[in-house]
Chain A
Amino acid sequence: MKFIQEYQNPEQVHRLAREIADVVSEPMSFMEVCGTHAHAVARYGLHELFPEQLGLISGPGCPVCVTPPEVIDAAVRLAQEGVWVAAFGDMMKVPGSQGTLSGVKAQGGQVRIVYSPMQSVEWAQENPGEQIVFMGVGFETTVPSVAVSIGEAKQLGLRNFSVLVAHRLIPPAMEVLVDQPDVQIDGFLCPGHVSAIIGSKPYQPLADGGIPCVVAGFEPLDILQGVYVLARMRQEGKARVANQYKRVVRREGNPVALAKIKEVFEVTDCRWRGLGVMPDSGLRLREEYEDFDAEKRFELDLLPVAEPPGCECGAILRGAKHPTDCGLFGSACRPDHPIGPCMVSSEGACAAVYRYERVEGD
């Protein structure tokens, strides 16, 4: 058991696809709230297997895509002013209104790609004469790692390390999305790795409100099983929380990770790129950790800035539009020349559709 190939068995995939076709007897529209799901669906061509009546729409689940441009602008400005900036690789090419991190790196700025926030703490330790800022982007999956790293920096007494906090929380966003008048959501395919941290419990209020929720993994069988159970619940008029990803997700989540988050961060209202401000949907550092807040240390003013003209990322992130509805898709906006954030990250809806679903000449 390696926990991957077993969930890709083509025979089982096709059997499940037939079962899904049997239970989808009326139009149903489910949202996957996770960029990793969106990417897997596109990569394995799962849309092809679904009956016509079933729509699987992408939600805002790509942390890179929902990071507001003013946060990217702030990081770019810091790097231009000589601060050393560490970020996950996905962030490098995301355009703010003043360019990208890779742009400022090309001009000689100190910008480094890290795969773990801990590497930025080490970078700060090795370079006591420099100010190091880590871009804290990511959902609940990533937040505990950042919390531990900040805790470590505090323990080490580092005076040259801080975090530009842009973390976002998934369940509060789902609560907002489900109330949109122009987007029909009949069920949620809940994000497996966010749920590894928070558990399946936070989705209960949505189910109580009549929306079926299934936590699912990321292999083809996981996703199809998740969709199958959502369709069954719809057909039977039930709304509950189910957990298809029990090999990883416990009902209560990871209590150690949750405690780390709580120790370092507190919940606050936050702006999402394309979606606006949503109540209790983000995090900020607690007072005990404010020395590590880059916003305070560098007195950053994060005023909302306008999106690139013509970009439909906002409507795409809330499930109201498909990437191909955007006039710039595939012409002015391509992965090698992205205009909006949804085209940058491989998990962005536009990038996934461009890479896997676009027919040449479209």
Chain B
Amino acid sequence: MCVALPCKLVEIDGNRGVAELGGSQVKMRLDLLPDAQVGDYVLVHAGFAIEKLDEEEAHKTLDVLDELGWWE
């Protein structure tokens, strides 16, 4: 149930946003991500954007097997 899909924000109007996902449009609320910008990839869950995706980190995960840099 915690599935959340990454999609690209294409429109923002106050606390509402529209994103693109596989050719269709997804409406969402942005209350939990007030600093989201058009062009950001966001994770959408239960009609709300819950987090932004970080492209740089995404590449790093792909590049390395070495877990250096993962420690919290």
A residues at B contact (CB < 8 Å): 1-4, 6-7, 12, 15-16, 19, 34-36, 61-64, 88, 90, 115-119, 137-139, 141-142, 144-146, 148, 191-194, 196-197, 200-201, 204, 214, 217-218, 221-222, 225, 228-229, 232, 240-249, 251, 254, 256-257, 260, 345, 347
Contact = CB atoms under 8 A, between A and B. Distances in A.
7 contacts: A3-B6, A115-B47, A142-B2, A148-B29, A225-B61, A243-B70, A254-B32
A246 B57 CA distance: 6
B70 to A, nearest CB: 4
The bracket for how many chain B residues form the interface is: 20 to 34
Interface of B: 1-4, 6, 29, 31-34, 41, 43, 45-48, 50-51, 53-55, 57-62, 65, 67, 70-72
Given A118-B47, A144-B48, A4 B6 contact: yes
A201 B2 contact: no
A116 B58 contact: no
Given A141-B50, A196-B50, A247 B58 contact: yes
Contacts, number: 152
A5 to B, nearest CB: 11
Contacts of A19: 65
Contacts of B31: 148, 256, 260
Contact of A247 (B33, B54, B71): B54
A115 B44 CA distance: 11
A121 to B, nearest CB: 11
B70 A246 contact: yes
A256 B32 contact: yes
B57 A247 contact: yes
Nearest to A233: B67
B29 A118 contact: yes
Given A248-B53, A260-B32, 15 more contacts: A7-B62, A12-B62, A90-B1, A116-B47, A138-B1, A142-B46, A145-B32, A191-B2, A196-B4, A225-B61, A242-B67, A244-B67, A246-B54, A247-B57, A254-B32
A119 B46 CA distance: 10
Q: Which 9 A-B pairs have the closest CB atoms?
A: A116-B47, A247-B58, A242-B70, A246-B57, A141-B2, A3-B6, A193-B2, A145-B48, A247-B57
